Amino acid sequence: MCSSMVGTAVVAALSALTGLSGGLSASGKEGGAMRYRDLTPEEERVMVHRGTEAPFSGAYVDHFEEGVYHCRRCGAALFDSADKFSSGCGWPSFDGEVPGAVERRPDPDGLRTEITCAACGSHLGHVFRGEGFTPSNLRHCVNSISLEFRARGETETAVFAGGCFWGVEHHFRQVSGVKSVVSGYTGGGTENPSYRDVCSGETGHAEAVKVVFDPSLVSFEELARLFFEIHDPTTPNRQGVDLGSQYRSAFFWTREEQKQTVEKLIGILRGRGYDVVTEVEPLGPFWPAEEYHQDYFGKNGVRSGCHVRVNRFG
């Protein structure tokens, strides 16, 4: 475990998570990084080539379930259901947006203002002012096909390994939208291993944390960026003074979209000169660690020097 877990608290005052910006190609590659979710021909027509679906044809025109509307391409949260209203125009209408999630630019027609996903550049629709529908006097007119709705309270699971699981777990516990974090072992061949078994280096397991989160409140990409900033993804089988394959950098995905997002982020980091060695593989059996390992820092009032956040994406 981390040798500097007891003592002076580590001060980490670094920049907040930021999304990517830029254009989106028909091949799904952004800035040379790994691709986002593949698009159908109709999705590509609208999201890449700035098309428009027929009025009253989209799935979300009269949809008012509580939750969050995400970009169908990259999964970024765009609009909250609390901001959705019926305008009678034939497309989903929102009088607000998730802060920083939507970018505006003049439409090629020279008359309207286009709105795009700030994270991946996908075309969403247009924004109009002064129509008087709501007190905000604002209407984001959005193609349903550009959106993916996620009900509030729906959860997703992801598993991260970045050295001693005490520090990794502590960081993820601080994130709003994370429902639970469990320290454990995965990636090996022994059933129900003990901490002593894993420390031997013979089981093949990594110390990891299973994160259950609400994607309507926090995106997977935000969590993945946090993961890459709280450990050193360039050191094989080591974090700080902790040596051994159980301390390797690895991500264990539960959804194809998670895999694509992590590969995209690895591509970005490598483009910035980081020799990333993080393993990316599907999640197999995950074995919770012994109870004394769970929320170790919270129980013992200590913090780790092995997991200080470093801004690698800003």
Strand order in the sheet with 249-253: 279-282, 249-253, 156-162, 206-213, 178-186, 286-288
> Residue holding tokens 């769970």?
294
Q: Which of 137, 111, 115 is nearest to 126 (CA)?
A: 115
Catalytic residue among 71, 74, 120, 141: 141
Max intra-chain CA distance, the chain: 68
User: Cα–Cα distance between 261 and 20 in angstroms, integer?
Assistant: 12
Catalytic residue among 74, 164, 199, 306: 164
Classified as helix, coil or strand, 147 is: strand
Q: Are 92 and 144 in contact (CB under 8 A)?
A: yes
Q: Is 117 a catalytic residue?
A: no
Element (H, E) at 221: helix 220-230
Q: Is 141 a catalytic residue?
A: yes
Q: Are 129 and 95 in contact (CB under 8 A)?
A: no
φ/ψ region of 229 (left if φ > 0, alpha if ψ in -120 to 50, else beta) reads alpha
Element (H, E) at 266: helix 256-271
Active site residues: 141, 164
